[in-house]
Chains A and B, each alone.
Chain A
Amino acid sequence: MIRLQRISQSISFILFLNLLYCASHPFREGIPTDLFLRLDPSVGIISSIAGRSWLLSALAPALGLLLLTAVFGRFFCGHVCPMGAMIDMFQLLFSRKSRKQQESNTVEQTSIFRSYKFVFVAFLLLAALCGVSLAFLGSPISLATRFIALVFHPLSLLLADTGIELAAPLQTLIPQLNYIQVPVRVFAANEFLAALFLSIVILSLFQPRFWCRNICPTGAILALFSVRPIVRRHVEKSCVHCNKCVRECPTGCITADHLMNVSSECIVCLKCSKTCPVSAISFGYRKTGLGPEQDGSFQKLLPTRRQTLAGIFSGIVMGGLVRTGWNQPRLMGQEKSLTDPELIRAPGSIPERAFLARCVRCGQCMKACPTNTLQPIWFKAGLEGMFSPILVPRLAACELNCATCGQVCPTGAIRPLELLEKKQVKIGTAWIDRQACLVWNQDKKCLVCDEVCPYNAVVFKPTENRKNAVPHVVPNKCTGCGWCENKCPVEGASAIRINIIGEIRLASGSYIEKAREYGLEFKTDKTDVDVLAPDTFELKGFGTNTEETPKTPQPVKRLELPQGFTED
């Protein structure tokens, strides 16, 4: 018989994978791709505290979960959490528990590290109070999403691509099969992310669900709400003390006398009741009877005063360290921070400090980015900015007709913008490295940057003593999308690069108005409106919006010749 928990856990995990799969371009409105992230109390609480503003979109579902936890216990860990599901899967495949390990699985014997998760929560909360969000280190949903999005997804794409290549013999029969071109996606730091994930699951070889028992901050928060849940475990007097339930319990929360358990550690997997030979174990509403309130085990699992203080202290120091670090913006009296010039944030990212406080590094934006330009960084923005997304234009550019990163962001670190507004967001400005540019330096004929610029922000001007006109960037027209940097034919570093010069980041308000206020003129197509409603456009109207009539031939002077034309 398959236990209820396995079914609900599988359904949740499949739902989680599907939602994450839907975080892609073109984005279909109304799919809550960030549902699991918003359920995670660590995400909502830490982002709200560090960002100094209520993140209701994440706090409300998390509060609902906490209330449910007060009724049903830590069912989230056993039935919903994708991290728990992956740990269980790993254990199922690789874990062979020794007899000794099984016999010594009582709560009394397995609780050396249990208090650490509370210490970790104290650390994270205090760092958040200092304005530094380290939710990405602990939130299990963030970790799981990041792993699936940046490690597992690219691997499965590669597998699919290999499969199609292996199917080559079939391609002569079905030519259309040829054109299934699976995009191969690459991510910075992916090996490290894989190693991090692996170390979490490998710990479960030493103790089942090691992460969930001892480290997980979300587990700790849920534990605080499930000290005495309304629905909890109950053991009849008929118990024969066979010790089977102790051996089977994945979190080792049952006491040595088998009659009690610590509800704050129980993930309601119902394994004990299933395994009991005399069916003495049941879960249900209990008013009286044996329960954790009588045995006081929960108190024993709390950190000591010294440990708590260590958590609080290290959290404060951590926050202080980050805020006195090199990358910290806004030193006293300074308008500008020492930000890396290539720290190009996705269009719609809120101002940097708030951005870092909000961003939980789930990786959904990077997964959804159709061009793969969004990449996790290492220390470009300090420890605080680890794994946060930036654009790497040399790898790929920002797609014009896409605003998906903002739409999938669970915390609003990247604002969900309408496509028309997103096209007006300036994320940086291109600059030309004249030493590297084929035209400037070698007087070669190359106009790739102009050719690919969707905003006509590169112009070629003839100069004296040169055969070829040279490129200039028109900063007012450049949004920093990066097509020029991406396609520049120079090997190695591009001769035209994007820096954050002139980036505009608004916590609220219209980017269109701001661009107008600053005198920027981003023009893509005259028919931008039709992009949003392609079905309303009539083919008859092609081009009729220009009243231009062909002009009569004019004599053409040397310098007035447009590029590519010669004088006869």
Chain B
Amino acid sequence: MIKGQSRRQFLKSSLISGAAVATGSINLLTPNKAFSAEYPDVIVSYGSSATDITRAAVEGLGGMQRFVKPGSKVVIKPNMSFSSPPEAASNTNPEVVREVARLCHQAGASRISILDNTLRTPEDCLRMSRIPEYCKDIPNTNVNYVKAQRLFKEVKVPNGKQIKSMEVVNEVLEADVLIAVPVGKSHGSSGVSLSMKGMMGLIYDRISFHSRFDLHESIVDMVTILKPALVVIDGTRILSTGGPGGPGEVIPLNLVVASADMVAADAEMVALGTWYGKKFEPNQVKHIKLASDRGLGQSDLSKLNIKNIRS
């Protein structure tokens, strides 16, 4: 399964990236507003190959060059916080992460940094998530855990209702683009853990979110600052129960959800998945509703232009 690219794949991907570059250069002439209206708000990309559906989803949003300009520094935030293998679904599918990193590279990113503040023993988390192993051949790409306090910097949260300041990973503050690549999973405290909850992997002190503050309000406070430009949610399989760490019920959905709107992406993922044996409306997850209410994105699916594609 894990082999180098075949000639056909290579031709295909180079054609696609060629086309992407071409469209990208046209876009330079187009005003940005009109440009974003050309694309759907949310792409749900179905298919059996995680790599293909990830690529298709990003292409559907206008290609990676819409988000990553040549020479820019990119931080990708996957889930790799648990020392469990990809099948357990508490970490992001390494194929999805690799494809996002590859697209960033093809869009001309000068540095691609894949970061997470791991919950369990860092080396074990990275090794068992297999993300470093998958991404090692993508140029300019580094996979790191972030534990040492010196790697964080305190920033103010001007629009925070509860959180007034927090310590965020330095490199995220310096980066040009932040991309969230979470896995779709349930969460014992926040209902689901998707792109917004996942941002807690880029801050130093997570514990006080739980103990001092209301978790949902804190998450929304946090994403007023840590707002990803692009969200690709791995729904190749979701951890439907027992999240975030598992063990729990793993349901294959064979899809990824991509959007430039983190709230919309999370909302769509909630609607697509089955959580604890039930179906839910996006607004039943408090932090999604709060984020939408505070104007950070759109959680009302009826107001979103959602496009389903299959590859």
Contact = CB atoms under 8 A, between A and B. Distances in A.
Chain B binds chain A: yes
Interface of A: 25-26, 161, 165, 175-176, 178-179, 181, 370-371, 399-402, 438, 444-448, 450-456, 460, 483, 487, 489-490, 523-527, 530-531, 534, 537-546, 548, 550-554, 556, 562-568
**7 A-B pairs with the lowest CB-CB distances in the bound complex, closest first:** A564-B191, A543-B237, A489-B211, A553-B279, A179-B144, A543-B252, A447-B189
A150 B250 CA distance: 42
Given A399-B124, A400-B83, A537-B87, A563 B191 contact: yes
Given A451-B189, A454-B245, A562-B275, A527 B87 contact: yes
A551 B278 contact: yes
Contacts of A26: 123-124, 127
B160 interface: no
A457 to B, nearest CB: 11
Given A399-B124, A446-B211, A539-B2, A562 B85 contact: no
A564 B187 contact: yes
Contacts of A525: 84-85, 87-88, 246-247
Classify the secondary structure of A's interface with B: loop
Contacts of A165: 150
Contacts of B211: 438, 444, 446, 448, 489-490
A489 B187 CA distance: 18
A183 to B, nearest CB: 8
Interface in B92-126: 93-95, 111, 113, 119-124
B153 interface: no
A445 B189 contact: yes
A102 to B, nearest CB: 51
B299 interface: no
B13 interface: no
A401 B124 CA distance: 8
B146 interface: yes
B252 A544 contact: yes
Contact of A175 (B128, B130, B171, B278): B171
B286 interface: yes
Contacts of B246: 454, 524-525
Nearest to A161: B148
A538 B151 contact: no
Nearest to B214: A445
A33 B102 CA distance: 41
A540 B3 CA distance: 13
Nearest to A491: B211
Given A401-B124, A546-B250, A178 B171 contact: yes
B242 interface: yes
B86 interface: yes
B69 interface: no
B225 interface: no
Given A447-B189, A539-B2, A179 B247 contact: no
B1 A546 contact: no
Contacts of B50: 539, 542
Given A447-B188, A489-B208, A401 B147 contact: no
Most B CB atoms within 10 A — which of A401, A455, A525? A525
B150 to A, nearest CB: 6
Contacts of A447: 188-189, 210
Nearest to B234: A542
27 contacts: A26-B123, A175-B111, A399-B121, A401-B121, A402-B124, A450-B189, A451-B188, A452-B119, A453-B245, A489-B211, A490-B211, A523-B247, A524-B84, A534-B85, A534-B130, A537-B86, A540-B48, A542-B87, A542-B236, A546-B251, A548-B240, A550-B273, A562-B186, A562-B278, A564-B191, A565-B275, A568-B284
A183 B48 CA distance: 40
A150 B286 CA distance: 47
Contacts of A489: 207-208, 210-212
Contacts of A563: 188-189, 191
Contacts of A562: 186, 191, 275-276, 278
